[in-house]
Amino acid sequence: MVQTETFVMLSAVLFILGAMGVLLRRNAILLFMSVELMLNASNLALVAFARHWQQMEGHLFVFFVIAVAAAEVAVGLALIVAIFRSKQSINIDELHQMEG
């Protein structure tokens, strides 16, 4: 039986890696993937605590987070495609001005 603490630590490490990806990478698609990694890390913590407290509600929240992540990816990738069409680039440094 692996302790809950260990799972939460792993979840924190993955979350930090995801946050660093968001801050360091300039490719908009990679940025999105890092956000997914962070969401996954939080899901892992939720499931670990759900087992710790033997409460099923945590699983439900993870279910909802996955659904929201799917929606977010659909809209986000559509945005990236639209931006790429107008700018011919998905480097977020070139998108920092909110000009058409």
Partner 1 sequence: MEALFLIVMVIAIASAILMLLSENAVHSALFLIVNFGCVAVLYLMLDAPFLAMIQIAVYAGAIMVLFLFVIMLLGAEKLTSQTKRFIWLTPLAIVLAAAFALIVGAAILNGEIDLTPPTERTPQLRVVHAAPYAGSVDVYANGELLASDVSFSDATDFVELPAGDYTITLNPVGTANAVVTVNVSLDGDSSRQANTYTAVAYGGTRSIAPEVALFPDNVEAVDAKTARLSVFNGTNSPVNLVDFGSDFDPTDDRVLLADLAPGMLVELPLVSEDTSVRSWAFTGVDAAQTNLERLPVLVRLNNPEVYSVKRDTAQLLVVSTEGLFDGTTREVVFPLVDRSVAPFGGPQAVGQLLFSRFVLPFQLIAILLLAAMIGAIVLTHKEGFQPRRRDVRRKVMKPLANVISEQVGSDVLVDETPLLPEKQAEPAGD
Residue 87 within binding range of partner 1, rule CB under 8 A = no
Q: Which of 35, 68, 86, 99 binds partner 1 (CB under 8 A)?
A: 68
Q: Are 22 and 35 in contact (CB under 8 A)?
A: yes
Looking at residues 5 to 24 of the shown chain, list those that interact with partner 1 (rule: CB under 8 A). 5-10, 12-21, 23-24
Concatenate the DSSP letters of all residues of the chain into one string.
---HHHHHHHHHHHHHHHHHHHHH--BHHHHHHHHHHHHHHHHHHHHHHHHHHT-THHHHHHHHHHHHHHHHHHHHHHHHHHHHHHHS--BGGGG-S---
Taking the complex as a whole, the smallest distance from the CB of residue 73 to partner 1 amounts, in Å, to 5
Q: How many residues bind partner 1 (CB under 8 A)?
A: 73
Binding mask of the shown chain, residues 21 to 50, with x at each position contacting partner 1 by CB under 8 A: x-xxxxx-xx-xxx-xx--x--xx--xx-x
Pick one of 42, 51, 98, 100: the residue that binds partner 1 (CB under 8 A). Answer: 51
